[in-house]
């Protein structure tokens, strides 16, 4: 029996994918203002990248008004946002694709200018991100991160409910599932890691306690969707936004084993060679592979992402390290990426200067291969 390939079918939860080229969640900062709802430009962007039987994981969307750390990202907590996302979902479904929504809260990776009432951002503990990393204010200034306010125990319960309500809103918008963003130094990972979580209550201290918030928000999504339509994204060896555990294996082994008991749609890793959270090119050498290290602990579908070429993606699947590969930057510049990889067509390079904010340029104006051939 031949090993699976990038273009073998794959079942994720109740959905039958026709190929394993997944579009990774990508922050693009092009939502409508001030509603922070998806708009027709976003509908066009996602529709361009939808394929029959292909999976898109839509960009990270804050579950609450205090969950933002960047301008122009879409939320999932208002009626206008639900309506905007419904247009996106309908367009993807019209192309025969599937689409999950990534649920997000940035925690301390924010600034008071983004917070309702101008208050400090919240986090598990009052630990600021070091000055080697810089925050962006709502009006685009670059400043040091502020010291966040530590969440009270009752506020944590309210945040879990925010995830539950966001999961309901995603269901109302017609999505096929949701992904919990537990990576890249944002709120869930802030609870996970010892450098950002100094709590002494049931959410801090031991590994089991630090994993508690991840498990609670995941369970909240499961309560709405059922486990087989919920995924989780982790970055065990990432360093984005001041994150990083001195010895990730004990922490993430416990997290992966705990999640494995839930029967999730998938687990989604970010490989450590690509951990800059989009702000810069990162290609660490001689680093461990998350998919290789944690695959033995995970019995379900495994996605991974992190600067894969088509050949490297094919090898990861053929060798059994992953079941599908999520592509980010090259999916931005190649809206027909699955077809290009399948047929060996040349890839259009991306333009990092147009990743964030703006309008059509660098967003919906990348050509498909047929258009290039006719030009």
Dump the DSSP string for 351-374.
-GGGSSSSSSTTTT-PPPHHHHHH
pLDDT (mean) for 317-327: 97
* pLDDT value of residue 282: 45
Query: Is the domain defined by 10-374 classed in CATH 3.20.20.70?
Result: yes
Q: Please, which pLDDT band fits residue 279 given cuts at 50, 70 and 90?
A: very low
Q: How far apart are CA 368 and CA 202, in angstroms?
A: 51
As to burial, measured by CB atoms within 10 angstroms (0-12 exposed, 13-18 middle, 19+ buried), residue 345 is: middle
Q: Which of 249, 256, 271, 321 is nearest to 292 (CA)?
A: 321
Q: Given a cut of 70, is residue 336 above it in pLDDT?
A: yes
Give me the residue label for tokens 């508690």: 212
Predicted structure pTM score:
0.95
Using DSSP's 3-state secondary structure scheme, residue 288 falls into coil
What is the overall mean pLDDT for the chain? Answer: 94
Residue 186 among the catalytic residues: yes
The model's confidence at residue 276, banded by pLDDT at 50, 70 and 90, is very low
Beta strands 142-144 and 134-136, pairing class: antiparallel
Reported as a single tens digit per residue, the pLDDT across 62-79 is 999 999 999 999 999 999
Would you call 100 helix, strand, or coil by DSSP?
strand
> Rounded to whole angstroms, how far apart are CA atoms 161 and 164?
5
Least confident of 236-240, 324-328, 346-350: 236-240
Say how far apart CA 105 and CA 24 lie, in whole Å: 18
Beta strands in the chain (DSSP E): 10-12, 15-17, 21-23, 55-62, 98-104, 122-123, 134-136, 142-144, 149-150, 177-182, 230-234, 266-270, 302-305, 324-327
For the segment 185-203, what is each residue's pLDDT rounded down to a tens digit?
Answer: 999 999 999 999 999 999 9
**Sign of the C-alpha dihedral, residues 141, 145, 150, 156?**
positive
User: Which of 77, 186, 252, 356 does the annotation list as catalytic?
Assistant: 186
**Whole-number pLDDT of residue 2:** 85
Distance CA 225, CA 96 (A): 21
pLDDT score of 370: 78
Count the Cβ atoms, other than its own, within 10 Å of residue 358.
Answer: 15
DSSP β-bridge partners for residue 179: 102, 231
Reported as a single tens digit per residue, the pLDDT across 117-171 is 999 999 999 999 999 999 999 998 999 999 999 999 999 999 999 999 999 999 9
Token look-up 């029996």 returns 1
Residue 286: its pLDDT value, please? 60
Q: What is the pLDDT of residue 58?
A: 98
State whether residue 178 is helix, strand or coil.
strand
What residue ranges do the domains of the chain occupy? Answer: 10-374
Provide the pLDDT for residue 275.
45
According to DSSP, the residues that pair with 182 across neighbouring strands are: 234
Start-end of H helices in 7-115: 40-49, 79-94
Q: Compute CA distances 79 → 83, 118, 278, 330, whole Å.
A: 6, 24, 29, 32
DSSP 62-90: ESSGGG--STT---SSSHHHHHHHHHHHH
Q: What is the pLDDT of residue 288?
A: 78
Give 193's DSSP letter: -
What percentage of the chain exceeds 70 in pLDDT? 95
- How confident is the model at residue 140, as a pLDDT? 87
Structure-derived torsion over alpha carbons of residues 172, 103, 64, 153, reported in degrees to the nearest 10: 120
Give residue 137's pLDDT.
95
Query: Above 90 in pLDDT, residue 233?
Result: yes
Angle CA 364–366–368, to nearest 5: 115
């Amino acid at each position: 029996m031949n090993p699976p390939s990038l273009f073998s079918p794959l079942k994720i939860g109740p959905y039958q994918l026709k190929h394993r080229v997944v579009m990774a969640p990508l922050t693009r900062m092009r939502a409508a203002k001030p509603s922070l709802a998806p708009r027709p430009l976003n509908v066009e962007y996602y529709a361009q990248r939808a394929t029959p039987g292909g999976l898109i994981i839509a960009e990270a969307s804050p579950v609450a008004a205090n969950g933002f750390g960047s301008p122009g990202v879409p939320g999932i907590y208002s009626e206008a946002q639900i309506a905007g996302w419904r247009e996106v979902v309908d367009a993807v479904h019209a192309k025969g694709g599937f689409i999950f929504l990534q649920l997000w809260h940035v925690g301390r990776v924010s600034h008071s200018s983004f917070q309702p009432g101008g208050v400090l951002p919240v986090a598990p503990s009052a630990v600021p991100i070091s000055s080697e990393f810089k925050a962006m204010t709502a009006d685009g200034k670059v400043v040091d991160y502020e010291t966040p306010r530590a969440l009270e125990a009752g506020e944590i319960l309210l945040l879990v409910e925010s995830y539950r309500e966001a999961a309901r809103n995603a269901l109302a918008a017609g999505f096929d599932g949701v992904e919990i963003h537990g990576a890249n130094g944002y709120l869930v990972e802030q609870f996970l890691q010892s450098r950002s979580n100094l709590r002494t209550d049931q959410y801090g201290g031991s590994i089991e306690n630090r994993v508690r918030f991840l498990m609670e928000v995941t369970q909240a999504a499961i309560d709405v969707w059922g486990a087989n339509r919920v995924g989780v994204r982790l970055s065990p060896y990432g360093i984005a936004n001041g994150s990083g555990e001195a010895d990730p294996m004990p922490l993430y082994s416990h997290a992966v084993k705990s999640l494995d008991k839930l029967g999730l749609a998938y687990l989604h890793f970010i490989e450590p060679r690509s951990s800059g959270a989009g702000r810069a090119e990162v290609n660490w050498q001689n680093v461990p592979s998350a998919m290789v290290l944690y695959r033995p602990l995970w019995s379900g579908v495994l996605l991974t992402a992190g600067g894969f070429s088509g050949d490297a993606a094919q090898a990861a699947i053929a060798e059994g390290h992953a079941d599908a590969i999520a592509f980010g930057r090259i999916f931005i510049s190649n809206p027909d990426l699955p077809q290009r990889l399948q047929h060996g067509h040349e890839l259009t390079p991306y333009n990092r200067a147009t990743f964030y904010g703006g309008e059509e340029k660098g967003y919906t104006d990348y050509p498909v291969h047929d258009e290039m051939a006719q030009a």
